[in-house]
Structure formats: C-alpha cells, structure tokens
Amino acid sequence: MKKPSRNPAERTAAKPPVKGAALSGLRRGMTLELLIERLDPEGMGVAHFEGATILVAGALPQDRCLARISHLGQNVTHADLIKLTQTSELRTKRPICGEAEQCLGCALIGMRYAEQVRWKHEQVRAELAAYPTLKKVPVLEPLSPNQRMHYRTTAKLAVAGTHREPYIGIYRRASHDVVDLEDCPLHHALVNRVVKATREGISKLKVPIWQEKNKTGVLRYLVVRVSASSNQAMVTFVTYRRAFNEIHHLARFVQEQVPQVVVTCQNVNSSEGNVIFGPHDHFLTKQQTVQDRIGEVEVLISPRSFLQVNNEAAALLYNAVLERAGLTGKQTVLDLYCGIGGIALTLAPHAKRVVGIEMNTEAVADARRNARLNNRRNCRFEAGDVRELLADSIEDEQRFDLVVLNPPRKGCDREVLQQVAELAPERIVYVSCSPQTLARDLDILSGLGYACHELQPVDMFPQTPHVENVALLERIPVKTA
C-alpha cells in the first residue's frame, strides 16, 4: 500500500487544553505508557492515567503501549498509538493491514476474528442488560459471513491534494486530513482498482481537485459501487461544478483501465459542509444502473441507492428477518424504512401483501423497479413521512399481521413506536445497526404491549465495531378477568 498522506491544506487547528485536563497534569503532545483495559462501543482502547480516561485508537485490551496525547477533553482524553511495548493475546499474529494505525477506519482489524465476534456479542448483551425489561432476552450467537475481507462493495472517498499528488481516501478521525488509500483490505478488489485508476487519471489528465480554502478546483469525492454478483462497477465523480470536459475524460480513462466499470456519473455538489452528494446527477454512460443479487432478490443499484455494503452478510440478515416473520402466505406485511425494498421483496413470496414505506423518493423509485424486476406484484411502495403515513393507516383502520422496522442509526421516534403498537400487529421484526438505540426502542415497545423473544446479531462489518441486529417481538396477550 502506498504510504498514507494527509492533505496539508485542510489541517485543523489544535484546540487549547481545557482547565480540567490541565489540573490533571496532562497536556497535548505528552507521551504516556498505558495498559489498555477494554474497548469502548466505538472500538477505541480505554486506559486510565492518574484518574483520567484515555482513548487510544488502534489499541486492544491487554495491550501495553506508548501513546501521545492528541486532544484534551473535559471527560476523556484522546491519544495516538505510537508503539506497542507488549502485545495483547487478542491480536492477530500477522497484521492484516500495514496502514491500520494511520487509517483508523477499521478499529478491530488487529483483533483475531473470533474475539471480534465475542466482543460484539457481549456489547449487544450489555446494552439489553441495561434495561430490566430486556435482561432475560436471549441474544443468539452472531451470524458471520465467510468473506471477512474485501467485502465492502460501496466506497465513498474524499479527494484531496493536487493533480500532481492526489489523495483518495477517508478523513482521519476528528479532522479533515485525508488518509490516502490504495489497496484497502476491506474494499472489494474492483473498488481498489478504480481508486488506483482514478488517481492515475487525475495526474495524467491534470484534473483540478477542489480546494476548500480558496474555493478553486473541481473534483471533491469519488463514489464506487460494485455488483458482487456480476463483477461490474458504477463510478460517480462528485464535483463542485459541472466541468464536463475534465470529468468526461477522467471517466473514459477509468473505464479503459478498468473495463468492469459499466456506469459513470457526475454528481454536482456546490454546497458547503461534508454532505457528499448534491441534487444533480449527469450520467456519462447510457447505462445508469447495475444489477446485483442479495439472497433470492435481484436489485438494480443507482448512484445514490442505499444498500448494505456486504452482500453475503446482507443475505444472512434478510434470511434472519424471514425466519422470524412467521409467514404462511396469508399475512399482510408493513415494511417501514424499506429503502430499495430488499427485505420487502425477500418476504413477498411468503406473504399475501407487502407495503413498504420510505421517505427517500429515489429509494422508492428503486424499490418499485426492483419489484418489477423480481415480478413481485403483491408489493406496493409509498414515499412519504413514516409518521404521516402510519397515521393514515390507523385512520383507515388498516390491519397488518407483521410490521418490519429498519430505521436509521438514531432509531425510531417514540410516536412511530406508539403508532405501530396502535396498528396491533401480531409480530414486529426490528432490524437495527445500533445496539444502543435498539435496546432503548425495545424497552419502549415492552411498555406498549410487545415482548422481545430473541435477538439475532449479524456481523455485517467484520474488522469494525459495528453490528446489525434482528429482534423478534410478539404482542402480549391481554389478560381477561
């Protein structure tokens, strides 16, 4: 892998130490010898020094290390790992990625995989145990994909530097420094090939890179999406302005170097901030989608479609939902936050009718196309606010036997949970990427008459601290006198 670089034009100024940290005797730049005690929920190593809590990215429990303080906060202090003086037994014998300490994008990549799974299992159990209503809920052993490296089929990467020395990668934690990635061990092989070709194309064609400081240049982000089943790729160049000629030639160069790239697109985003996509897409190829397969479902992917980044693990997740749905072909299903319809279309062959609701209108358009692609005529997808459409369903006295919840990381609003309970489905299957908000919402649902019977974790993101979960809830029978 090419030595990681940082974009010097985007370095952020260091914050001055806060009073509490100064009183503890710690200061920015100080080197400490630490024993890592545990990991926090984000996969950061946790140590203590003279009563202060120190977080060290890239460190594992049982590691002894030298770490340099990089940021002083009121409650916790962050430090950069300098050197391991004694390695943990949890570590892999051979490092999987030589640049892990620079990148910090995969907090658990140095940990043996069995230990990763064990840690994630304990994290989920601990979140549930914090609520009396959930202490006895069985948490099953996590489902793990066979492919634990090079599984990531979507990459959204920042572009920085200059055309003479372009950087394509991710932002270093808590900064706008871009760590240059070339052969990421988590990215699908096609993603890495596209990144390499784009870097070469930028230099060869002298494509101007966007400079935030002086508001010049064109290219801001590179987004690559791969169909694992067809081994084809879609590439989106996000630019500050239209700049047709530069991006047209860059797209052609990338396609020549990587013939598996069948769709190229330019997205124009002239807004400030870190939002990647702007409102306008301009396709540079006649083909505008790639087709992929997840489990038994065929899906068409467009540049901004939301789709899990690990196909094999996504199939495990969809199947886990199907197993807990209890469908016999007679039930009506409501899929909330349905995205492009992956779960809905997995359930459709086993249900009488499936209704999907999603705020994102583009995702709903994708879901409708996917329903036609899979010949699922018993699916209907609606775009709109979940609360408003649920209110309409309640008013119309619609009945659903099963409700699937798959909200974003922040979980469901309490009002949505109350509305779901008012619909009175026999079962709820809750899919979540956040154990914290999942536990909170399961506790709320327990007070609304739904008991959680079991929870199935799915390791969607090996080498990272993230874990998906599928929870089965059933309506508690009302006791009669």
Q: Can you give the C-alpha Rg of the chain in angstroms? A: 24
* Rounded distance between C-alpha atoms, residue 155 and residue 235, angstroms: 10
> Using an 8 Å Cβ cutoff, are 354 and 380 in contact?
yes
> Using an 8 Å Cβ cutoff, are 308 and 385 in contact?
no
Query: ∠182-57-101 over CA atoms, to 5°?
Result: 30
List the catalytic residue out of 106, 265, 338, 433: 433
> Using an 8 Å Cβ cutoff, are 382 and 389 in contact?
yes
412 is catalytic: no
Of 238, 261, 255, the C-alpha closest to 188 is: 261
User: 302: buried, middle or exposed (CB in 10 Å: 19+, 13-18, 0-12)?
Assistant: buried
For residue 200, which phi and psi values (nearest 5 degrees)?
-65, -40
Of 55, 31, 38, the C-alpha closest to 90 is: 38
Report how far Cα 154 is from the mean position of its chain's Cα atoms: 10
Catalytic residues: 433
